[in-house]
C-alpha cells in the first residue's frame, strides 16, 4: 500500500463506521488507492485496529472516536480530520444500526424508532452539515451516503425504523446533490443489498431463515463487504465525475426481481 499513486492519491477521506464491515473494507481500499483515511467509529478499539491495518500496509490513517448522532462530536470529528490532513475531499457517511427490536410499526417501540433514526438518518445529516463546509474549503469533493435497497423496495423482513431511515437518506442525498452540484460537490446514495456481515450472519444463523432471505437474491448469495466498498471507491474517485444524485444499487439484482415473500 502506498500513498504515492492510486485513484485517491492526495485526497483525504472521512469514513464513519470504519471499525468494521463495509466501513472497514472501504478504509483499507481507499488507503490502498492513496487516500489519507480518517477512521471514524464509536468503538475506539475497532477504529484503532483499522488504522493499524492501514499503517501496517504502508498507508496513512487517523482514528476519531465519535457517536454520529451527537452534533458536538461530529463537528469535532470533522474538524480533527481537516486539522490532521489539511483538507477533506471525500465524506463517506456509512455508520448505521439495525436493532433486533426493530419490527412492524405496531410492535416497534418509540425508543427503538428514535435510536435508529438518530444514528441512521440524523447521523448522515450531521455528517453533511459539518462535512460540506470542509469539502467546500477544499474546492469540492464527493459525498457517499449509505442507504439500502430497502429505500427502493419494501423489505421482506419487518424493520420499519431501518427502512424509514434509509428512505430518508436516499431523499436527503438527492437534495444535497442538486443544491451543491455547481459548487463542486457530488452526492450519491450507495444502496447495498444484504451483506455478509457478522450482524447478518447472526440474524441468519438458522439455515431455513438464510434460505428464505437468499431466495430474493437472483445471484443466490449475500454480498461481501469488500464488494460494496469497491462501489464506494468508484463514487469517491474521479471515475464517477459525472455521477451525481444517483441511487447507486449494489444488490445482486434483488430490486430487479419479482419474488413474493412466500416464495
23: Cα separation from own chain's centroid: 6
- ∠ CA(29), CA(62), CA(65), 5° rounding? 110
Q: Please report which residue ranges of the chain form alpha helices under DSSP H.
A: 21-32, 44-56, 71-85, 110-116, 123-137, 160-180, 198-203, 207-214, 225-236
Give the separation between CA 222 and CA 234, rounded to whole angstroms: 20
C-alpha cell at 38: 480518517
Main-chain phi, psi angles of 89, to 5 degrees:
-120, -25
Residue with cell 419474488: 259
- ∠ CA(177), CA(190), CA(96), 5° rounding? 110
Cβ atoms 186, 237 nearer than 8 A: no
Positive or negative CA dihedral for 78, 152, 187, 232? positive
5: Cα separation from own chain's centroid: 24
Active site residue 162: yes
Q: Say which of 162, 180, 242, 258 is annotated catalytic.
A: 162
Give the separation between CA 67 and CA 14, rounded to whole angstroms: 14
Give the separation between CA 4 and CA 66, rounded to whole angstroms: 29
Catalytic residue IDs? 162
Amino acid at each position: 500500500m502506498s500513498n504515492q499513486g492510486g485513484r485517491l492519491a492526495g485526497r483525504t477521506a472521512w469514513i464513519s463506521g470504519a471499525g468494521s464491515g463495509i466501513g472497514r473494507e472501504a478504509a483499507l481500499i481507499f488507503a490502498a488507492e492513496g487516500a489519507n483515511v480518517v477512521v471514524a467509529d464509536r468503538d475506539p478499539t475497532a477504529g484503532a485496529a483499522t488504522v493499524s491495518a492501514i499503517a501496517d500496509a504502508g498507508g496513512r490513517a487517523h482514528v476519531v472516536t465519535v457517536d454520529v448522532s451527537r452534533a458536538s462530536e461530529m463537528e469535532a470529528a470533522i474538524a480533527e480530520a481537516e486539522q490532521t490532513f489539511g483538507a477533506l475531499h471525500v465524506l463517506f457517511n456509512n455508520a448505521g444500526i439495525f436493532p433486533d427490536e426493530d419490527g412492524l410499526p405496531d410492535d416497534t417501540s418509540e425508543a427503538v424508532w428514535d435510536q435508529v433514526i438518530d444514528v441512521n438518518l440524523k447521523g448522515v445529516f450531521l455528517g453533511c452539515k459539518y462535512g460540506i463546509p470542509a469539502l467546500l474549503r477544499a474546492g469540492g469533493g464527493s459525498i457517499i451516503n449509505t442507504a439500502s435497497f430497502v429505500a427502493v423496495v419494501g423489505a421482506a423482513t419487518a424493520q420499519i425504523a431501518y427502512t424509514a431511515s434509509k428512505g430518508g437518506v436516499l431523499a436527503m442525498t438527492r437534495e444535497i446533490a442538486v443544491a451543491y452540484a455547481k459548487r463542486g460537490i457530488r452526492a450519491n446514495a450507495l444502496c447495498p443489498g444484504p451483506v455478509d456481515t457478522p450482524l447478518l450472519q447472526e440474524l441468519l444463523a438458522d439455515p431455513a431463515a438464510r434460505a428464505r432471505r437468499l431466495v430474493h437474491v437472483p445471484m443466490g448469495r449475500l454480498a461481501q463487504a469488500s464488494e460494496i466498498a469497491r462501489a464506494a471507491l468508484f463514487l469517491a474517485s474521479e471515475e464517477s465525475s459525472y455521477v451525481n444524485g444517483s441511487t447507486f444499487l449494489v444488490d445482486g439484482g434483488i430490486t430487479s426481481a419479482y419474488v413474493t415473500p412466500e416464495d
